[in-house]
Amino acid sequence: MPNASFVGSVGNLIGNWNYKLFGFISYVYPFLLIYPAVLNYRNFKKLNLKFVGNIVGTVLLFFSVLLLLSMFSKSYGGAVGAFIIDSLISVIGSVGSVVFILMIFFIAFGLAFDDRLDIVIKKAFIEQTKSSNTQNGSNLSKFSTKNSDPKSNLNENTNLKDEPNLEQKWRIKQKTKEPLEEIQNVEKDKIEDEISQNNVIKDEPLMLNGVEILNEVAENKELLNQLEKGKIEKPKDFKLPSLDFLNDPPKRSKSVNESEIDQKIADLLDKLRRFKIDGDVVRTYSGPVVTTFEFKPAAHIKVSKILTLQDDLAMALKAQTIRIQAPIPGKDVVGIEIPNKNIETIYLKEILQSEIYKNAKSELTIALGKDIVGDPFITDLKKLPHLLIAGTTGSGKSVGINAMLLSLLYRNSPKTLRLIMIDPKMLEFSIYNDIPHLLTPVITEPKKAIAALANLVAEMERRYKIMSQTKTKNIETYNEKVKKEGGDTLPFIVVIIDELADLMMTSGKEVEFHIGRLAQMARASGIHLIVATQRPSVDVVTGLIKANLPSRISYRVGQKIDSKVILDQMGAESLLGRGDMLFTPPGSPGIVRLHAPFASEKEIENIVDFLKDQQPVVYEESFLKDSGVEASEQGVALGETDELYEEAKNIILSEEKTSISYLQRRLKIGYNRAASIIEQLEQAGILSPINAKGQREIIR
């Protein structure tokens, strides 16, 4: 016992009573109590059966060790141990007592440490064997290196003439040289194979009770690998915004909380068994918003039965909502997505500073957010080539559209990208007014929106006419050809419609016709659509629009039928909001769940102000004129010319420059009006039609 001067009289009294009651085990059991204390600290928020089992196992383990000590000598186990042993021996005898105590010990060990004693010993023995094999392998490789060249050993020992049997040893070495080398090579190959296997094991996913914890989604990685890699050309006369305008994300720990995942798996399997659904969880993905479990049902379980339990499982797991994907395309498992307790906010800066975004070659790369494991996810608008978006109020639809817009502005100058924004609600896009990328002011009136779409169809046809004359198939090859000849390139045009339903109510047939034509034909001309709506009903998202907009994004919608309209399957009604979305990539049978990044209004304002300071905006007012295409065609036919026609004619004849952009800069007019004047000069016979090099010649 400790001296009273060291622990005081109270400590000495407690120590004496402990020793009398529990004997030698009194020195050990305070340390055993540390284990349940740690468990209690980790699980203080929630008392569960597994935690209770750990506590009971620790207590039983303590008493089993106490009784084993008392079997050797009653003084070792103290008064408590002696009393229990005497009672046991009187009832079941000495042999029965030993068997009973050992049985309690093994049961207690399993409850306390969640594993059987024999498995723990086997694991320890295997690890020790592996480490010793690795050490022996390294020693063998050293030995092989030393003795790999017998001639060098002979040269080192030729001076030792006094050593007996030297010549005899050399002959033996010569005779056994080839077999030795073969043995060494075989051993070396074995060691290399073992090392390579160890390296493979390191790259394998983390395992938790037979469940793989994966940190990447193979399907998403394959989609990202299909994107073109390269560097975009930086504009010479325009400065792109810096990432410093965006807020830095908070530092987060990337470690996987194994105990939390283990608890979720146990809860999920327990609830499924209550509904008589047998099976096992084979894989799990942990991310910033949801944790996904791949559940492999038993052979006799119907997938439709699991789907009907979505609401029941959500209630049983106390989750806001869960999403069941049954089955996952290309797999024999069912995906069950459960929201995390703490949902992380994803910042736009995380996506824009990622390597996958920086190394994307396309000018129209848009940031969609992060996937279910927290990896950045982007896509190429040129490949989509148009996007249909749906989502109710508060679903994060506007946040996602802003992220797409900003990701385009971070890669393009007004020379390579022009925007048309149609915002009938007059709220969403007003902040972007007067940025130099705009082709027209932000359109808020439905009539002007219809006129802009009609004129955009005419612009598409004009571009195709130019491409046919230059014998090019799309805008990329045309721009490459024109660049080599020193001509003017065509910018990409992205049209963003924030509320399709409002336009369809005003003039549904015209809107449907123009969107249908653009969606069918505008891809090669460099014109792309992003169409959004709050109400994806069949009278808004018509069959013609759906057929021509294969790539879709759905944020949270109100009903299952809305999800069916936008995605052709259910699931969007089970999303969480706050930017949680489902994305259908082009050419892919599956759906990708993503979480949109957030950019505050202050960040957007700073970026917009920076862009405005770069250069003033030049609007193409002709895009907003009703029936502008027919009027211009009739005007040329009737001999009516633009009021700047004569001035433009004098500039071209005196300076001998026929490019549209040069005329646009000299007259300080929009691109569309300058192109119209050039066409009038061509009709008048002053300029030749555009040649294969993308240039016009002065005829007179």
Tell me the binding residues for ATP: 391-398
Distances (CA, A) of 604 to 513, 578, 611, 637: 34, 18, 11, 46
Short-list 572, 599, 600, 596, CA closest to 289:
596
Q: Token digits for 192? A: 């290399």
Query: Phi/psi zone of residue 549: left (φ > 0), alpha (ψ -120 to 50 degrees), beta?
Result: beta
d(CA 368, CA 639): 50
d(CA 554, CA 563): 7
Q: Token digits for 586? A: 């082009």
Helices (H) and strands (E) in the chain, counts: 26, 15
| Residue 64 · residue 104 · CB < 8 Å | yes
Per-position DSSP letters for 427-462, written without gaps between them: SSSGGGTT-TTBSSSPB-SHHHHHHHHHHHHHHHHH
User: What torsion do the CA atoms of 621, 614, 238, 406 make, to the nearest 10 degrees?
Assistant: -80
| Residue 579 · residue 597 · CB < 8 Å | yes
Which segments of 204-301 are extended strands (E)?
Answer: 206-208, 211-214, 279-286, 290-297
Tell me the binding residues.
Answer: 391-398
Q: Token digits for 431? A: 């902040």
Short-list 370, 208, 217, CA closest to 288:
370
The count of other CB atoms within 10 Å of the CB of residue 433 is 14
Q: Token digits for 1? A: 């016992």
Query: 57 burial class (0-12, 13-18, 19+ CB within 10 angstroms)?
Result: buried
d(CA 386, CA 491): 17
Distances (CA, A) of 552 to 390, 581, 592: 8, 10, 11
